[in-house]
Homo-oligomer: A and B are copies of this chain.
Amino acid sequence: MTAPRRQPRPGRATIYAVAEEAGVSIATVSRVLSSPDKVSQRTRDRVLAVIDRLHYVPHGAARSLAARAHEAYGLVLPELRGPYYAELLTGFESAAAERGASVVVLLTLDKPTADVAVRRLAGRVDAMALMGGAKVDPSTVAAIGSKVPVVQLAGADLDGVENYSTESTDSARELTEHLLVDHGRRQLLFVGSPADAPDVRRRYEGFVEAHAALGREAAPPVAADLSESAGQEIARAFVAGELSADGLVCANDELALAVMHGLAQAGVDVPTDVAVTGWDDWMAARYVAPGLTTVRQPVRDLGRLVGERLGGVLADPETPEPSNWLPTSVVLRRSCGCP
């Protein structure tokens, strides 16, 4: 029996309360929880019974402090709209959970002090993943990178920061060539803002490459958020004649679907009058008419890969870096002109 340091404060039972009740030292209680085999059967049972009766739950912060591990990974995302981020988080959480780590999610959109929040987060997790589109300042990335392992997701290529993403440029080129060559489209427009996110930029690069390969010049991108309202606006502009094209390569499905819908309402036929393509292959893409031609990416796998990678470097900093991109595939449906 050990000297109890405090009177049984109401609220949460501590390891001291359990130790006292069970007539053992706090070290033994700790052992019962973390290395049960180092404790005799009898003692273990007695302690476990008390733990159960008192609903004892170890204080996470105290545990983290003593064990020098937060047992948590951070994930920084711009937002959660659409299927992309949710899938990413699902894969990430799953990998984290398998390693006994919780996931702390930080959404940066609409947060004026996102960089401060990211720095703060770095003090509460063992490692973190930053989505490129979250627009965390490179200086912040560098600062926290010196404290905890940090990787980027679909981010810009920063010095010394691993970057994991799905393949984008090649698929965008393939898709664009398909429109240009197979469907003979003459005037394509890329809808999306390359400056907003590195992966959108890579898609636009593929768009440009496809044109270049045919000796043509790609039009500059038509700026648009990856949102429904941006899509409606694009459709309006198109119908109003402010935009002229026979093919719209949209940066994601949400945008593409909104565009298609707006076009259809104005009597513009897709794909006859204008082809439309998206990116992500979310569920709705195959449920609308015409079906949306798009690019499928293994986003959940990407999240899982990154979660596993964080676990890897944490376990051993020398762990070799895995392949940092995942293959995507073009999914042809009717919106591009395919039968």
Question: A residues engaging B (CB < 8 A)?
Answer: 11-12, 55, 57-65, 70, 72, 79-81, 85-87, 89-90, 93-94, 97, 102-107, 110-111, 117, 119-125, 143-144, 146-147, 228, 254, 257-258, 260-261, 283-284, 286-289
Q: Taking each of A57, A81, A257, which has the highest tally of chain B beta carbons within 10 Å of its own beta carbon?
A: A57
Alpha-carbon gap, A89 to B97, bound state (A): 18
Contact of A61 among B65, B103, B287 (CB under 8 A): B65
Contact of A104 among B104, B117, B286 (CB under 8 A): B104
| Minimum distance in angstroms from A300 CB to a CB of chain B | 10
Tell whether, in the assembled complex, residue B60 and residue A70 are in contact, meaning their CB atoms are under 8 Å apart.
yes
A-B residue pairs in contact (CB < 8 Å), sample of 9 = A55-B143, A59-B123, A61-B61, A89-B105, A102-B104, A102-B105, A257-B283, A283-B284, A284-B287
Tell whether, in the assembled complex, residue B90 and residue A79 are in contact, meaning their CB atoms are under 8 Å apart.
yes
Taking A97-B107, A261-B286 as given, write out 20 further A-B residue pairs in contact, using a Cβ cutoff of 8 Å, ordered by the A residue number: A55-B143, A55-B144, A57-B144, A60-B124, A61-B61, A61-B63, A63-B123, A79-B90, A80-B89, A80-B90, A85-B86, A93-B105, A93-B106, A93-B107, A97-B117, A105-B105, A258-B287, A260-B287, A288-B289, A289-B289
| Minimum distance in angstroms from A274 CB to a CB of chain B | 17
Q: In the complex, which residues of chain B have a beta carbon less than 8 angstroms from the beta carbon of A104?
A: 72, 102-105
Q: In the complex, which residues of chain B have a beta carbon less than 8 angstroms from the beta carbon of A260?
A: 287
Contact of A287 among B12, B55, B81, B257 (CB under 8 A): B257
Contact of A105 among B103, B117, B258 (CB under 8 A): B103
Going nearest first, the 6 A-B pairs with the smallest beta carbon separation are A60-B124, A284-B284, A61-B64, A80-B86, A57-B123, A61-B61
Q: In the complex, which residues of chain B have a beta carbon less than 8 angstroms from the beta carbon of A228?
A: 283
Alpha-carbon gap, A120 to B61, bound state (A): 12
Q: In the complex, which residues of chain B have a beta carbon less than 8 angstroms from the beta carbon of A121?
A: 102
**CB-nearest residue of chain B relative to A70?**
B61
Q: In the complex, which residues of chain B have a beta carbon less than 8 angstroms from the beta carbon of A87?
A: 80
Tell whether, in the assembled complex, residue B119 and residue A57 are in contact, meaning their CB atoms are under 8 Å apart.
yes
**CB-nearest residue of chain B relative to A88?**
B80
Q: In the complex, which residues of chain B have a beta carbon less than 8 angstroms from the beta carbon of A122?
A: 57
| Minimum distance in angstroms from A44 CB to a CB of chain B | 17
Tell whether, in the assembled complex, residue B58 and residue A123 are in contact, meaning their CB atoms are under 8 Å apart.
yes
Tell whether, in the assembled complex, residue B283 and residue A288 are in contact, meaning their CB atoms are under 8 Å apart.
no
Q: In the complex, which residues of chain B have a beta carbon less than 8 angstroms from the beta carbon of A85?
A: 86
Contact of A106 among B102, B111, B119, B254 (CB under 8 A): B102
Alpha-carbon gap, A122 to B64, bound state (A): 14
**CB-nearest residue of chain B relative to A260?**
B287
Q: Assuming A60-B61, A60-B70, A143-B55, is B90 touching A107 (CB within 8 A)?
A: yes
Alpha-carbon gap, A22 to B36, bound state (A): 45
Tell whether, in the assembled complex, residue B147 and residue A11 are in contact, meaning their CB atoms are under 8 Å apart.
yes
Q: In the complex, which residues of chain B have a beta carbon less than 8 angstroms from the beta carbon of A55?
A: 143-144, 146-147
Q: In the complex, which residues of chain B have a beta carbon less than 8 angstroms from the beta carbon of A289?
A: 288-289
**CB-nearest residue of chain B relative to A71?**
B124
